[in-house]
């Protein structure tokens, strides 16, 4: 199952969701815990990374060449934030839609797999940082800026 929504400008972005993983498990007779777990060698699929992002409070996807061009990035690297879930750890940390995650707790993020591994490790602890490139507010002379977000302990 995929969820489609408008991303940058008028482009439609398709993002795999946890529901799709769980439905796949039911159809294939596999437990959801095995589908969401990483393999022994530490690899991470985009779906697993996406699910971890949702648990953190963001809907994300890889920075592809189209996003790279639109945001005038040097390389198609990092993870683009398409949606921030209200009242989540990501929302409380101030992460914004259209930002590009480049670092989690001092670990460089180039791919969805990097994002998933770093986020999984960071969320086992209490506090961590997320480094992003973010668009400036309309009317500001600088088009992009680097921002570091402090993510505090999960509150019940």
Query: How many Cβ atoms are within 10 Å of 26's Cβ, its own excluded?
Result: 10
CA dihedral 38, 43, 49, 55 (to 10 degrees): 30
pLDDT score of 154: 72
What is the architecture, at CATH level 2, of domain 2-151? Roll (2.30)
Give, for all 156 residues of the chain, the pLDDT tens digit.
Answer: 334 343 444 334 444 444 444 434 333 444 444 344 444 346 899 999 999 999 999 999 999 999 988 888 888 999 999 999 999 999 999 999 999 999 999 999 999 999 999 999 999 988 999 999 986 666 665 556 789 999 998 765
pLDDT score of 146: 85
Q: How many Å apart are CA 12 and CA 54, to the nearest integer?
A: 19
Nearest to 121 by CA among 54, 17, 38: 38
pLDDT score of 150: 95
Domain boundaries, the chain: 2-151
């Amino acid at each position: 199952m995929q969820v489609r929504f408008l991303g940058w400008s008028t482009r439609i972005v398709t993002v795999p969701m946890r529901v799709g993983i769980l439905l796949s498990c039911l159809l294939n007779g596999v437990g959801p815990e095995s589908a969401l777990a990483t393999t022994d060698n530490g690899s991470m699929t985009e779906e697993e990374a996406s699910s971890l992002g949702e648990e953190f409070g963001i809907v994300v996807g890889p920075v592809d060449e189209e996003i790279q061009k639109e945001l005038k990035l040097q390389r198609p690297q990092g993870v683009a934030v398409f949606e921030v879930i209200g009242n989540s750890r990501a929302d409380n940390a101030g992460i914004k839609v259209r930002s590009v995650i480049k670092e989690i707790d001092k670990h460089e993020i180039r791919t969805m797999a990097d994002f998933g591994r770093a986020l999984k490790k960071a969320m086992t602890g209490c506090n961590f940082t997320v480094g992003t490139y973010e668009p400036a507010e309309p009317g500001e002379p600088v088009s992009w800026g680097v921002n570091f977000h402090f993510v505090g302990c999960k509150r019940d």
